[in-house]
């Protein structure tokens, strides 16, 4: 067994109805809380009003920051300028991955000088964050990013000079991750599908990652089984079933834990670049590329390393798990995997990249910036080109 390191996780509370515990949890940190949410959903469901009334009864002041779309460095800088010095004792993010990333970054910058751009990986000035933050509670309302379990906040600037980069420190792991599957019940089918495919991508990429360990393998397989059972129902006829929503919430949580410890692959290499250049949701990018990228990885591994390769064995095992059957040979079970992903991509009607403005003329620029991360196959530029081309127009 190879040596490995496993990062700490947040204190995890996983239970239907646990949203009601937030006021008591908040009271343990102080009397003034900044609540970061998505633009509309929590307000429209009435839960924001419920939370405010509950906090009022405990004499806790609530300040509210709605976040529209994926968070930018400017949003974080504006928020920290507005709330720094306001006596914020707790930041609580209730929403999808964007709200949680925004809250995580704001909690990290309220006690730190300068701009968040100073600390962003790859595009900042290389400053080292002290790791000091305002306590942070993450409450996901979608099942996909797993940000409630990670130490990084992903910020982006979309456009020709765009980027999607992380603010990262071991101390940025949320103090508490509260997962209440009831919060996902109103989530629309399209968002549910894209988020679910993101969780699937994270689980599969971390399972076959060059940085995988026995612990991440066990967690990833458990998460993949729950994706198998719940992804399609959560995006269709089972959207109102709390057990289905709980299954996807659990899979998403595990995907965050495994990605934080094993790393990801080429799909996320693509996603960080494409997400900075075009207004395509992260889950859509990952989901629409997963089938072709998995196929390319398997073909490369079969050619370069043969059927005895450990990563191929893992791909084959995943195929048998997701398809609920096995063929008895590595190549056959790998085919089951790509067939299953292709079927889910079709059933869930994931958009093509061309719908967000990605064209063939953009491929060279995307390839120039895309890294393989911890991908098991050392794909070349032409193999990566085929992955993108196949999902621009189908």
Domain residue ranges in the chain: 11-184, 189-390
Q: Are 156 and 70 in contact (CB under 8 A)?
A: yes
Residue 394 reports pLDDT greater than 80: no
Q: Write out pLDDT tens, residues 46-81.
A: 999 999 999 999 999 999 999 999 999 999 999 999
Q: Write out pLDDT tens, residues 251-287.
A: 999 999 999 999 999 999 999 999 999 999 999 999 9
The band of 393, judged by pLDDT with boundaries at 50, 70 and 90, is: confident
Q: Are 200 and 160 in contact (CB under 8 A)?
A: no
How many CA atoms are closer than 13 Å to the CA of 112, on its beta-carbon side? 24
What pLDDT does 87 receive?
A: 97
What pLDDT does 176 receive?
A: 98
Residue 182 phi, psi dihedral angles, 5° rounding: -65, -25
What pLDDT does 244 receive?
A: 98
Reduced to 3 states (helix: H, G, I; strand: E, B; else coil), residue 65 is strand
Beta strand 11-14 pairing with 32-38? unpaired
Q: Is the pTM of this model over 0.95?
A: yes
User: Would you tell me which CATH number, out of the four given (2.40.50.140, 2.130.10.10, 1.20.1090.10, 3.30.70.590), belongs to the domain 189-390?
Assistant: 1.20.1090.10
- 10 Å Cβ neighbour count for 382? 8
By C-alpha distance, which of 217, 222, 194, 202 is closest to 146? Answer: 202
- How large is the average pLDDT for residues 198-226? 98
Q: Which runs of consecutive H residues, i.e. helices, occur in the chain? A: 22-27, 41-44, 47-57, 73-83, 97-109, 189-207, 214-234, 242-262, 266-277, 282-304, 310-323, 330-347, 363-369, 381-390
What pLDDT does 255 receive?
A: 98
Residue 117 reports pLDDT greater than 80: yes
What is the overall mean pLDDT for the chain? 97
- How large is the average pLDDT for residues 115-125? 94
The band of 11, judged by pLDDT with boundaries at 50, 70 and 90, is: very high
Residue 124 reports pLDDT greater than 90: no
For domain 11-184, give the fold: Rossmann fold (3.40.50)
- How large is the average pLDDT for residues 309-333? 97
Cα angle: 308, vertex 301, 297; to 5 degrees: 135
In percent, the amount of the chain with pLDDT more than 90 equals 97
- 10 Å Cβ neighbour count for 46? 9
What pLDDT does 27 receive?
A: 97
What pLDDT does 371 receive?
A: 97
Quote the tokens at residue 241. 């079933």
d(CA 116, CA 119): 6
The band of 125, judged by pLDDT with boundaries at 50, 70 and 90, is: confident
Cα–Cα separations (whole angstroms), residue 356 to 159, 326, 353: 12, 37, 6
């Amino acid at each position: 067994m190879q040596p490995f390191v496993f990062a700490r996780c947040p204190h995890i509370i996983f239970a239907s109805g646990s949203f009601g515990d937030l006021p008591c949890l908040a009271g343990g940190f102080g009397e003034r809380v900044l609540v970061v949410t998505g633009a509309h959903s929590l307000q429209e469901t009435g839960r924001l009003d419920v939370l405010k009334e509950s906090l009022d009864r405990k004499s806790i002041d609530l300040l509210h920051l709605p976040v529209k779309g994926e968070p930018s460095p400017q949003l974080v800088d504006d928020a920290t300028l507005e709330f720094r010095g306001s006596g914020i004792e707790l930041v609580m993010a209730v929403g999808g991955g964007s709200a949680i990333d925004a809250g995580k970054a704001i909690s990290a910058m309220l006690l730190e000088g300068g701009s968040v751009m100073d600390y962003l990986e790859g595009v900042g000035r290389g400053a080292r964050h002290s790791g000091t933050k305002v306590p942070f509670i993450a409450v996901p309302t979608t099942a996909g990013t797993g940000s409630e379990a990670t130490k990084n906040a992903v910020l982006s600037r979309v456009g020709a000079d765009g980027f999607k980069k992380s603010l990262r420190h071991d101390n940025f792991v949320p103090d508490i991750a509260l997962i209440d599957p009831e919060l996902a019940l109103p989530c629309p089918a399209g968002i549910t599908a894209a988020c679910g495919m993101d969780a699937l991508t994270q689980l599969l990429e971390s399972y076959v990652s060059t940085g995988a360990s026995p612990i991440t393998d066990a967690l990833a397989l458990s998460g993949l089984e729950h994706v198998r059972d719940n992804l399609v129902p959560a995006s269709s006829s089972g959207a109102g079933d709390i057990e289905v929503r709980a299954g996807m919430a659990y899979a998403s949580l595990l995907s965050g834990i495994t990605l934080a410890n094993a790393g990801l692959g080429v799909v996320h290499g693509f996603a960080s670049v494409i997400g900075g250049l075009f207004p395509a949701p992260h889950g859509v990018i990952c989901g629409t590329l997963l089938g072709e990228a998995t196929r390319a990885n398997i073909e490369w591994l079969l050619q370069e390393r043969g059927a005895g390769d450990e990563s191929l064995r893992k791909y084959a095992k995943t195929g048998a798990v997701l398809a609920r059957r096995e063929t008895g040979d590595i190549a056959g079970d790998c085919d089951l995997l790509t067939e299953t992903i292709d079927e889910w991509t079709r059933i869930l009607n994931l958009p093509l990249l061309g719908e967000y403005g990605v064209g063939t003329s953009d491929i060279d620029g995307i390839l120039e910036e895309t890294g393989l991360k911890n991908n098991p196959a050392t794909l070349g530029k032409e193999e990566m080109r085929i992955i993108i081309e196949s999902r621009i127009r189908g």
